[in-house]
A and B are shown apart, each in its own frame.
Chain A
Amino acid sequence: MDAELLSSPSSLLVVWIAALSFAIVTAAIAGLFPERLEKIRTSAFAIFAFPGMLFALVYAARGFGVLERPIVHWVFDKGAQDALHLGLVFDPVSFVAVFFAGAAAVAIAIRNRPTIRTSSALVLSWVGLGLAATAQTIWMAILGIGIQILSRTFPLTESAERTAGVDARWIASAKRAWIGLASLLCGGAGLASQGIHLDFLASTPWSSLEATPSAIVAGALLVFGLLVIATPALSSSALHESNDRTVEENLFVSETSLGWIAVLIFYRAFGNLHEEVWLLSVGVGAAVSTAFSIAALTFQSSRTSAIHLWLATAPVATLVLLPFLPAREANLLLLGALVATNGLWVAIDHPRTKADVATAAAFYLGATGFVGWATSAGYANFFSRLESDPALRIPIFLLLLLYQAFGWRLVVRGGDRKENPAPAAKWAALGIFFVLGFGPLMSGRFGGGALPGEPDWIEGAKAWPWIKAATEGSETDWAGFGLSQGLVLVAALFGIFAWRSSELFPFSKKYPGGERAAKGLFGLGWIQEGFSGAFRRMGAYWTESVSATFWERGIPAVGLATLGALRKIARFVEAAVDPLTSEGYGRIFTPAAKLVQWLHGGNVRLYAWFALIWILIFSIYLTR
C-alpha cells in the first residue's frame, strides 16, 4: 500500500470514495441479481459498508482532523460563473453521520433480517447519506439525494414481488423526495446562475446575493425543497397501510437518512447563510414541519409506527433550533442529535425490560437536549435568549414540549415488537454508541476538529451549558439552562400523565375521520385524488374538445369557408371579366378548389399515391 496515500489528508479521501464506490457496486449487483446472494442477507449491510465504516474508524483514530480535497468542476470550467462544482470534506460531522448511521443500520439489518434487495437499498441509502455528509458542495449532496431516491427501486421491486399493495409506502416516500428534490434542484440552479455556489467551505456569502426576484425565488425554492425532504410526515400515509413492521422500519430508516441529509445541507450552508430572514425562514419552516409530524403522530394507532415517525422527525426537530445557534452550539447540537437518535433507533423498539427502557431513556435525553449530552448546549443557548424574541421562542418551546412528550411516552411504552431477535447485535451496537459517541461527546473530544478554534477538550467543554453558566454566570445563561432542562422534565411528566390510557394514542379510534384526513393530507393524496382528477378532465377536454375541434373541424371549416368565398369571388370576377378575357379564365382557381377537396380529405389518397408509387414498389419488393 502506498504509504503516502494514508498520510496525506487529501489523498485519504480517495480511499473514502473508493469505499463508497465499493458499496454502490456491491449493492447494485446484489439488488439486480439477488438469488445467489440471499444467503448473506443478514450480514450484507455490514459486508458492503465495511470499507466505509473502516475508513471512518481510521479517521477517528487519526484524531478527527479535517480532511479536505480541493473543489473540482463537474460541469463547465471551474472559473465559469455557472459551473457546477464537486468537492469532498471529511470532518467530525461527517464521521458522526456516517459511522453512527452505519452502526445503527448494521444492528437493524441483523435484527430485521431484510431480504438482500432491501439490504442493498439500505446500503445505497447509507451511501447517499455518506455522500451528503462528506459533500463540500451542494451538488455533491444532491447526488447523495439522487442515490437515496434510486435506492428505493430495490425494495419496491421486492415488496411488489411478494405481496400486493405494500408498494404504497415506498411510492409515498419517493413522491415526497422527488417534490423536494425538484424544488431543491431549481433553487440550487437559480443560485448557481447568479454565481452563488453554496460551496460549503467557500467564503461566498449568501448575503452577497442581491435582493432580485431571481434570488428570492431561487432561495425560497432551495429552502422549500430541503424542508420537504426533511419532513417525513409528508409520507406518513405509509404508516397507515397494513404492513410488515420490519419493512416499515427499513423504509423509515431510509426516510430518516433523507431527513439528516437535508439538515446536513442546511448546516453546511449556514456559513453562507448570513441573511437573518433566510435563517428565520428555515427555523420557522422546520417548526411547521415538526407541527405536521405531531399532527400525523396524533392519529397513529400503532406504537411501532409512531416510533418510526417520531424518530424520522428527529432531524427536522433538530433543525428547528439549528439556524438560531452560534457555530459551536450548532455543531454540538447536530453531533449529539445524530448520535442519540441513531442510538434510539436501535434501542427503542424492543421488549420492555428495565434495561431496555433505561437505555432508550438515555438516548432520548440525548436527543432532547438533557444535561450531560452535547445537545444541551444548543437547547440552553436557544432558550437563554427567550426575552429577546418571545414571540418566536415560546411557540417553539411549546412545540418541542409536545414533540418530546410524545417521545417520552414512546420510550416508556416501547414498540409492538414481541421479541428481540438479535440481542447481542443490539447491545454490541449500543456499546459502540456509548464508547465512540457518548464518551467523546461528553468529553468534548470531537473538539479536535469540530469546535472551531478550540482544539482542547477543556476549552470545548466550556460549551456545555452548566459550565458556561457557572463560568460566565449571567442570568440569561442560567435561564436558558433551566428552561432547556425544564423542557425535558415537563415533557417527560406530560408524556407519562397526559395519556394514561392503555392505548398509546387513542385519537385514531376516537376520531376516525381525523385519521382519514391525516392519511390523505400527509400522503399527498389530495394531489392524486383531487387535482389529478381535475387535471385529467382538463387534459381530456384539451385533446378531445379543443384540439380535435380546432384541427379536425375548425381549420378545415375556416379553410373551406375562405376558399369557398374566394371561389365565389372568382366566379363573380370571372363573370364580370369574361367578356373581356378568353373563356375559362376562372380555371386559375382550380387549384384552390382542389385544395378545398384536399382539406375535405376526399382526394388526398389519389395525390399521395401518385407521389409515392415508386416507393410502394420498393416496399412490396422488400416485404414480399
Chain B
Amino acid sequence: MKELIPILVFTPALGALLQTLNPRPAISRTLAIVASLVSAVAAIALFVQMDPGLETPKYVVAWMRSYSIHFALGVDGLNLLPMLVTAFVFPFLLISEWDRQFGRRGIHALLLLLETGILGALCAGDLFLLLFFLMLTPIPLYFLASIWGDEGRETSAFRMVSVSLVASACLFFGILLIYHAVDPHTFLIEDLAGKLAGKTTEIFGISVELQHIAFPLIVFGLALRAPFWPLQGWFRKFILKVPTTVAVGALLAGFPVALTVFTRIGFVLFPETMKAHLDVWIGIGIANLVFGALTLLQESDLRGILVSLSSVFAGFSLLGIGTAHPTGLVGSQFILFSSMVALAVWGFASEILRYRTRTYAIAEIQGVLRTLPDLGSATLLSIACAVGIPGTAGFISFALLYMGAFNYHPGVVLAALVVSLVVTGFLIQVYRRIFLGEKVQERFTRLGFRERLLLIPLAGVAICVGFFPSPFVEIVRATITKVLA
C-alpha cells in the first residue's frame, strides 16, 4: 500500500513534465487529466485500504544520507481528509481549463505541479521534504497568476512570492534549529517526536529553549502562508487578480496545508507548548472568524467571497485545533474537507458565471437561476455544505467542532454560532441577488456536459460524506487519539 504514496504525489509532476515533452498538443489535456486522475485513484485506494486499527502507510527512503534527510511520505488521520480533497478537486480544476485558448498546456502543467507541491507538503514526514514542497507551491502559483491573471497581476504575484519567501525563511530557520537541537541530527518527524521537550539552542551565545524560538518561527511562517488574520492582506489581493480555477488551487495550497502541518508539528513535536497556548489558538481562530465574517459582508466580487470564506473556515478549523480535544480535532479536519468542497463548487460556479457574464462583480449578475437552474441548485448545495445543513459533509464538521468546543468553553461555541449565522445570512443574500433577483432579458447558454461534470460529483461527495462519515471519522480519530495520548 505504501507504494501508492509516491504515485499519489508524483504522478501529477510527471504529468506536468509530459506537458512539456509531449509533441502532440491534441492529447496533452487528456494526459493532464489522466495524470491527475491516477493521483486521485491512488488517494482513494489508500483511503480504502487504511484501517483505524492498523499502522498507517509510510514510504521512507534515505535521500541525503549524510545529512539524515529522508524522502519520507505518509498518510494518516492528520492529513487524510485534506489529501483526499486535494486529489479529488484537482482533476476538476484541469477540466475547468479544458477549453482555454491561450496556453492551455502551460496552465495544465502548472496546476499539476501545484498539485504535487500540495500533496507533498501534506504527506511529508520529513521536515526538510516538507520545506521543499512548501517552497515549491509558490512557483506554479506565481506563473499562474502572472500569466493568466487580471490587470495588476504581476504586483500581486510578486507580493505572493515575497511573502512566501519570508514564510519559508521562517520555517527553514525553525526547522534548522530543530535539526541541530537533537543528536543525532534528523529531519524525520517520527524520530523527533518526544525528543524536543526541554531542548535548548544557542543564538548569538544566548541559550533559548527550542519551544520559545523554533516553534514560534514555524507558527509564524505557517500563519503567513495560510494566511491568518492579521497576515492575510496579500492573499486577498492575489486571489482578486487570478481566475477562480487558480484561486481554488491557491486556497488548497493555503489554509488546509498550513493547518495540517501546524497540527502535526504542534501536537507531535511540541505537545506541551501547543497545549499551554490553547487560548492563543482559540483567540486567533475567533479573530479569523470575526474578521472573515466582517470582510465577507462587504464583498462585491465572487472571488472575494472565496477569500473571506476561507478566512472564516480557517478560523473554524483553528477553533477545533485549539480545543485540543479529539472530537474538536476531528471536526477541524472535517472543516478542511467540507469547506474545500464547498469553496471548489463556489469557485467553479463563479467561473461558469464569468464565462457568461464577463464579470465577477456580484452587482452585475442577477436572475441566473431562470436559465441555469442546475448551476443554482449546485451552488445552493455548496452553500448548504459550507454552513452545515444536515445531510452534507459540513454538518458533520460543525457538529463535531461544536462538541469539541463545548468541552473548551461554551462562549467559543456562541461566538462561532453568531459568525455562522452572519455568514449564512450573507450567503443567502448573495445567492438571492445573483440567482434570483429581478428577471433579466438575457438568456444564458445552458450548462454543457463538462460544466455539469464540475458541479455534480463535488456536490455528490458533499452529500455522501454527510450521510456516511464514519469511515473517514474513524481513521482521523484513531490518529488523533494516538497523537494526543
Chain B interface SS verdict (over half): helix
B354-383 to A contact mask, C-beta < 8 Å, 1/0 = 000000000000010110011011001100
Chain A hits for B429, CB < 8 A? 528, 532
B389-429 to A contact mask, C-beta < 8 Å, 1/0 = 11110011011111110110110011011001110111011
Asked if A157 and B373 make an inter-chain contact with CB atoms under 8 angstroms apart, the answer reads yes
A145 with B388, Cβ < 8 A, contacts A182-B421, A221-B417 known: no
Query: Which of A181, A214, A616 is B410 in contact with, Cβ under 8 Å?
Result: A214
Asked if A623 and B105 make an inter-chain contact with CB atoms under 8 angstroms apart, the answer reads yes
B142 within 8 A of A: yes
Which residues between 43 and 99 of chain A lie within 8 Å of chain B, taking CB atoms? 73-76, 82, 84
A543 within 8 A of B: yes
Asked if B19 and A622 make an inter-chain contact with CB atoms under 8 angstroms apart, the answer reads yes
Asked if A193 and B439 make an inter-chain contact with CB atoms under 8 angstroms apart, the answer reads no
A596-614 to B contact mask, C-beta < 8 Å, 1/0 = 0010000011001001100
Asked if B436 and A178 make an inter-chain contact with CB atoms under 8 angstroms apart, the answer reads no
B424, closest chain A residue (CB) = A178
A615 within 8 A of B: yes
Chain A hits for B161, CB < 8 A? 608, 611-612
A171, closest chain B residue (CB) = B432
Which residues between 106 and 163 of chain B lie within 8 Å of chain A, taking CB atoms? 106, 109-110, 139, 142-143, 147, 158, 161-162
A622, closest chain B residue (CB) = B106
Asked if A185 and B388 make an inter-chain contact with CB atoms under 8 angstroms apart, the answer reads yes
A192, closest chain B residue (CB) = B403
A145 with B417, Cβ < 8 A, contacts A182-B424, A608-B158 known: no
B298 within 8 A of A: yes
Asked if B403 and A552 make an inter-chain contact with CB atoms under 8 angstroms apart, the answer reads no
Question: Which among B77-85, B184-192, B275-283, B289-297 touches the partner chain?
Answer: B289-297
A171 with B390, Cβ < 8 A, contacts A185-B402, A192-B403, A622-B106 known: no
Chain B hits for A167, CB < 8 A? 432, 436
A161 to B295 alpha-carbon distance, docked (Å)? 32
Chain A hits for B396, CB < 8 A? 75
A149 to B385 alpha-carbon distance, docked (Å)? 12
A-side interface size class: 35 or more
Asked if A539 and B298 make an inter-chain contact with CB atoms under 8 angstroms apart, the answer reads yes
Distance (whole angstroms) from the CB of A555 to the closest CB of chain B: 9
Asked if B402 and A179 make an inter-chain contact with CB atoms under 8 angstroms apart, the answer reads no
Asked if B103 and A161 make an inter-chain contact with CB atoms under 8 angstroms apart, the answer reads no
Chain B hits for A84, CB < 8 A? 399
A542 to B233 alpha-carbon distance, docked (Å)? 11
B-side interface size class: 35 or more
Chain A interface SS verdict (over half): helix
Question: Which among B88-96, B174-182, B337-345, B469-477 touches the partner chain?
Answer: B469-477
A392 within 8 A of B: no
B30 within 8 A of A: no
B390, closest chain A residue (CB) = A146
Determine which residue in B373, B388, B420, B435 has the highest number of CB atoms from chain A within 10 A of its CB, and name it. B373
Asked if A542 and B158 make an inter-chain contact with CB atoms under 8 angstroms apart, the answer reads no
Asked if A75 and B469 make an inter-chain contact with CB atoms under 8 angstroms apart, the answer reads yes
B402, closest chain A residue (CB) = A189
A539 with B297, Cβ < 8 A, contacts A160-B369, A547-B233 known: yes
Chain B hits for A146, CB < 8 A? 389-392, 395
A548 within 8 A of B: yes
Asked if A76 and B20 make an inter-chain contact with CB atoms under 8 angstroms apart, the answer reads no
A379 to B142 alpha-carbon distance, docked (Å)? 72
Asked if A189 and B389 make an inter-chain contact with CB atoms under 8 angstroms apart, the answer reads no
Query: Which of A164, A604, A616 is B437 in contact with, Cβ under 8 Å?
Result: A164
Chain A hits for B158, CB < 8 A? 604-605, 608
Asked if A615 and B143 make an inter-chain contact with CB atoms under 8 angstroms apart, the answer reads yes
A598 to B327 alpha-carbon distance, docked (Å)? 45
A139-159 to B contact mask, C-beta < 8 Å, 1/0 = 100110111011001001100
Asked if A619 and B106 make an inter-chain contact with CB atoms under 8 angstroms apart, the answer reads yes
A605 to B401 alpha-carbon distance, docked (Å)? 43
A188 within 8 A of B: yes
B102 within 8 A of A: yes
Chain B hits for A149, CB < 8 A? 384, 389-390
A619 with B294, Cβ < 8 A, contacts A153-B380, A192-B403, A608-B158 known: no
A160 with B435, Cβ < 8 A, contacts A190-B410, A217-B413, A218-B406 known: yes
Asked if A619 and B143 make an inter-chain contact with CB atoms under 8 angstroms apart, the answer reads yes
Chain B hits for A189, CB < 8 A? 398-403, 406, 413
A346 within 8 A of B: no
Chain A hits for B194, CB < 8 A? none
B230 within 8 A of A: yes
Distance (whole angstroms) from the CB of A155 to the closest CB of chain B: 12
A550 within 8 A of B: yes
> 29 pairs across A/B with beta carbons < 8 Å?
A146-B389, A150-B391, A156-B380, A157-B376, A160-B367, A160-B435, A161-B369, A161-B370, A164-B437, A164-B439, A178-B421, A182-B424, A185-B388, A185-B402, A189-B403, A190-B413, A214-B409, A217-B406, A217-B413, A221-B413, A532-B425, A535-B297, A543-B298, A547-B233, A550-B233, A604-B162, A612-B139, A615-B142, A623-B103
The 7 closest A-B pairs by CB, nearest first: A146-B390, A623-B103, A189-B402, A622-B106, A217-B410, A623-B106, A539-B298
Apart from A535-B422, A622-B103: 18 A-B pairs, beta carbons within 8 A: A74-B469, A143-B390, A164-B438, A182-B417, A182-B420, A189-B413, A190-B406, A193-B403, A214-B406, A221-B417, A543-B295, A543-B298, A551-B230, A604-B162, A612-B139, A612-B142, A622-B109, A623-B106
